[in-house]
């Protein structure tokens, strides 16, 4: 059952760089290549082919392509063929990511054996599309057309330069509904100079001509009764339909999304680049991108927290009950860039950086603050909402995770435990009137 095969394929996790590195160690032939490359400086490699190889994170690269060990090749072939792209597109996609000797013929075999592709193969082209002049930059001229598939109606919009395609599923093909979609699309990608469509009654309606006029778009229509002369859109109607025919898992929109992602990230036969690269200047990520090791520097955002405290610093920290707003203690521990644990009077208080300010080192730890603090702890009063602070700036960075339900987090942590959120102070309704946390700004 082809559908079952694809369900398994879609539910299987994609191949990751880590898995590839592990598999290299399990495969004698690839491991010997790895060892060989490890032992020789790239410049001193005699063979031209070996000079193209490099190593990173336990993976072998040929140029920019990851070398896939034999045991993972069949999964990669399935991944390349998601969306049932044709042989040329699959090979071009492979050239951006993966390599092994004989990959091109393996791709051909994989696709030739795909039952769904065979069943849904389209008729060969009989008529040459209308020769529109080539465009020089993205979104200069877009072609649009309507199509119907499995009782669903769609508006398909194509950029003639990048071949980027947008598809809207519609309940109605009225001029106003179609214009709503065009307008939404143009709100994201801007107005094109020229729009091309056929002569469908909606497209030549007053509403359409007024929309184009108002927005400074030239509207050209193809020859009457000759939809093929709007070749760009017509061709993409076929591409989307054949993608949908072969992908039968999930809702119509889910299938459409998969077909669109596959198409948008794959290099185009005419341009040699993916539509995303030509329109946005970047490759878009998909499951196949996981074969590439993640650049370490990409995983952590640079810190934008300017105020920092060191362990042992004397600080004032905010209190949230009683009449006194601030108390004084010493930084005991840091958790990421914004969370600090402050020791005061044999207790540890968890505070966000916005709730702390530096204290002069000459201030003594005065007695009445100590007494006051005991009172606060015993009262077990309502506490500030740490999550709200975290969402405002620099979330994460190793700060302890806070359950979404734990709105009220106990800032008091026993010195003997590692800092953690008190489990018995989960969502709890305070009887006290709630006040907004007052932020200290230096
Ligand atoms: Zn297929």
pLDDT, tens only, 357-378? 998 866 554 433 333 333 333 3
- d(CA 204, CA 181) in angstroms, rounded, equals 16
User: How many Å lie between the centroid of ligand 1 and the Cα of residue 316?
Assistant: 65
356-358 and 218-221 beta bridge pairing: unpaired
User: How many Å lie between the centroid of ligand 1 and the Cα of residue 107?
Assistant: 11
Cα–Cα nearest to 116, from 27, 287, 198, 1: 1
User: How many Å lie between the centroid of ligand 1 and the Cα of residue 247?
Assistant: 9
pLDDT given at position 372: 37
User: How many Å lie between the centroid of ligand 1 and the Cα of residue 73?
Assistant: 17
Q: What angle do CA 250, 255, 258 make, to 5 degrees?
A: 125
User: How many Å lie between the centroid of ligand 1 and the Cα of residue 239?
Assistant: 13
User: How many Å lie between the centroid of ligand 1 and the Cα of residue 176?
Assistant: 37
Average pLDDT, the chain: 77
User: How many Å lie between the centroid of ligand 1 and the Cα of residue 67?
Assistant: 24
Residue 119 has pLDDT above 70, yes or no: yes
58 vs 50, residue with greater confidence: 58
Confidence at 94, pLDDT banded by 50, 70, 90: very high
User: How many Å lie between the centroid of ligand 1 and the Cα of residue 110?
Assistant: 8
Q: For 70-137, list the strands marked E by DSSP.
A: 98-99
Which residues sit opposite 196 in a β-bridge? 143, 220
Residue 48 has pLDDT above 80, yes or no: no
pTM, two decimal places: 0.55
Which residues sit opposite 146 in a β-bridge? 155
User: How many Å lie between the centroid of ligand 1 and the Cα of residue 238?
Assistant: 15
User: How many Å lie between the centroid of ligand 1 and the Cα of residue 437?
Assistant: 58
User: How many Å lie between the centroid of ligand 1 and the Cα of residue 314?
Assistant: 66
Half-sphere exposure in the Cβ direction for 244 (13 Å, CA): 21
User: How many Å lie between the centroid of ligand 1 and the Cα of residue 233?
Assistant: 23
Half-sphere exposure in the Cβ direction for 45 (13 Å, CA): 17
Contact present, 290 and 16 (Cβ < 8 Å) = yes
**Could you tell me which residues come within 8 angstroms of residue 442 by beta carbon, excluding any fewer than 6 positions away?**
307, 357
Q: Which two tokens stand for residue 15?
A: 């191949």
- Please provide the DSSP assignment of 190-254 as one string: ---SEEEE---TTTTSHHHHHHHHHTT-EEEEPPTT-GGGSHHHHHHHHHHHHHHHH--SS-HHH
User: How many Å lie between the centroid of ligand 1 and the Cα of residue 256?
Assistant: 15
User: How many Å lie between the centroid of ligand 1 and the Cα of residue 116?
Assistant: 5
- d(CA 114, CA 81) in angstroms, rounded, equals 9
User: How many Å lie between the centroid of ligand 1 and the Cα of residue 114?
Assistant: 5
User: How many Å lie between the centroid of ligand 1 and the Cα of residue 240?
Assistant: 14
165-170 and 314-318 beta bridge pairing: unpaired
- d(CA 399, CA 86) in angstroms, rounded, equals 47
User: How many Å lie between the centroid of ligand 1 and the Cα of residue 111?
Assistant: 6
Contact present, 303 and 362 (Cβ < 8 Å) = no
User: How many Å lie between the centroid of ligand 1 and the Cα of residue 255?
Assistant: 14
User: How many Å lie between the centroid of ligand 1 and the Cα of residue 108?
Assistant: 11
Confidence at 22, pLDDT banded by 50, 70, 90: very high
Contact present, 166 and 185 (Cβ < 8 Å) = yes
User: How many Å lie between the centroid of ligand 1 and the Cα of residue 152?
Assistant: 22
CA dihedral 120, 125, 130, 136 (to 10 degrees): 70
pLDDT given at position 377: 38
Residue 407 has pLDDT above 70, yes or no: no
């Amino acid at each position: 059952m082809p559908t079952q095969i694809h369900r398994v394929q879609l539910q299987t996790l994609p191949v990751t760089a880590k898995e590839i590195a592990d598999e290299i160690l399990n495969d004698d032939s690839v491991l010997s290549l790895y060892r060989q490359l490890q032992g020789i400086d790239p410049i001193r490699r005699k063979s031209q082919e070996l000079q193209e190889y490099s190593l990173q994170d336990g993976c072998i690269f040929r140029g920019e392509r990851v070398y896939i060990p034999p045991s993972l090749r069949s999964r990669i072939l399935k991944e390349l063929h998601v969306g049932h792209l044709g042989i040329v597109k699959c090979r071009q996609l492979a050239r951006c990511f993966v390599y092994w000797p004989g990959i091109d013929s393996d791709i051909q075999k994989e696709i030739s054996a795909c039952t769904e592709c065979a069943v849904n193969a389209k008729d060969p082209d009989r008529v040459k599309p209308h020769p529109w002049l080539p465009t020089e930059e993205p979104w200069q001229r877009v072609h649009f057309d309507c199509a119907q598939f499995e009782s669903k109606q769609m508006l398909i919009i194509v950029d003639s330069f990048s071949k980027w395609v947008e598809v809207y599923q519609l309940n109605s093909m009225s001029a106003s509904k179609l214009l709503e979609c065009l307008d939404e699309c143009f709100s994201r990608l801007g107005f094109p100079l020229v729009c091309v469509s056929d002569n469908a009654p909606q497209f030549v309606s007053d509403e359409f001509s007024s929309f184009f006029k108002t927005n400074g778009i030239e509207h050209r229509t193809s020859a009457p009764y000759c939809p093929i002369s709007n070749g760009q859109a017509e061709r993409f109607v076929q591409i989307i339909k054949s993608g949908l025919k072969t992908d039968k898992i999930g809702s119509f929109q889910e299938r459409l999304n998969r077909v669109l992602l596959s198409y948008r990230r794959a290099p185009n036969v005419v341009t040699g680049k993916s539509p995303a690269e030509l329109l946005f200047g970047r490759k878009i990520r998909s499951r196949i991108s996981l074969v590439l090791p993640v650049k370490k520097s990409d995983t952590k955002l640079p810190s934008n927290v300017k105020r920092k405290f060191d362990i042992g610093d004397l600080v004032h920290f905010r209190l949230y009950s009683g009449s006194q707003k601030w108390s004084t203690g010493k930084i005991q521990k840091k958790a990421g860039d914004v969370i600090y644990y402050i020791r005061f009077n044999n207790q540890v208080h968890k505070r966000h950086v916005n709730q702390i300010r530096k204290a002069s080192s000459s201030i003594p730890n005065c007695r009445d603050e100590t007494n006051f603090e005991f009172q606060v702890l015993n009262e077990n009063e309502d506490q500030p909402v740490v999550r709200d602070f975290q969402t405002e700036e620099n979330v994460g960075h190793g700060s302890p995770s806070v359950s979404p339900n734990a709105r009220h987090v106990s800032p008091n942590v026993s010195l003997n435990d590692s800092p953690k959120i008190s489990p018995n102070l989960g969502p709890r309704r305070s009887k006290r009137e709630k006040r907004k946390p007052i932020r200290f700004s230096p």
